[in-house]
Structure 1
Amino acid sequence: MFGLGRLFYVILLLINSIAVLSEDRFLARIGWSTAQMDTGFGIADSASVKNRMINLISAVRTLMRFPLIGINTLVIIYELILG
């Protein structure tokens, strides 16, 4: 069934998929690049869902880069040893 181990794998894969998104190739084409973020004139524009998603993707790519390397290495070693 669906246990905590599988839930951990799903979360890890989702974070990996966000971390490998290319800003130039993919995000800029759909208008989700940080360079294209229009801050606007007030606070209401920065609180939009699109801007929050752009900020989330940028934060995951920045903050989770090195921890993901270690976590992925541990998961690969775990899978190789215990299968």
Structure 2
Amino acid sequence: MLGTILYVSLLLVNAMAVLSEDRFLARIGWSSTRPPNVNFQTYDQSGYGAVQGQGEVGIKTKLIELISAVRTLMRIPLIVLNIVVIVYELLLGG
């Protein structure tokens, strides 16, 4: 049961890591870069993630930031984790 949860979470993180921002995310409006003609939101430095004039950052913005963070921060750890899982599966046939 715990192994299945770990496999599913590894597959989901892998799926987020391989999403192409130019080919897929930008087409559906989930790109972390904004076109130059769009007004940028100003962020209040008093609280983490608080936008001036609004109560909270939307879920869509949080998901875009999560995908961007996974793509940048988890690249090397994912390579290592995938190698470990592949070797485990080859040796033990889990």
Note the residue ranges of structure 1 that are not aligned, 5 or more in a row.
none
Please give the alpha-carbon distance, in whole angstroms, between the structure 2 residues aligned to 1:71 and 1:33: 27
Higher mean alpha-carbon deviation, 44-53 vs 7-16, is at: 44-53
- Structure 2: unaligned runs, 5 residues or longer: 44-50
Which structure's relative contact order is higher, taking Cα pairs within 8 Å and 6+ residues apart? 1
- State the shift of 1:17 in Å: 0.2
Structure 1 residue 71 corresponds to structure 2 residue 81: yes
Q: For 1:45 and 1:39, locate their aligned partners in 2 and report how far apart those are by CA, in whole Å.
A: 17
Partners of 1:69 and 1:46 lie apart in 2 by 34
Residues 43-81 of structure 1: CA distance to partner in whole angstroms, max 9, x if unpaired?
A: 138711111111000001111000000000000000001
Output the TM-score relative to the length of structure 2: 0.78
TM normalised by structure 1 equals: 0.88
- Compare CA radii of gyration and give the structure with the larger one: 2
Q: Show CA shifts across 1:17-66 (max 9, x none).
A: 00000000000000000112864246138711111111000001111000
Higher helix fraction: Structure 1 or Structure 2? 1
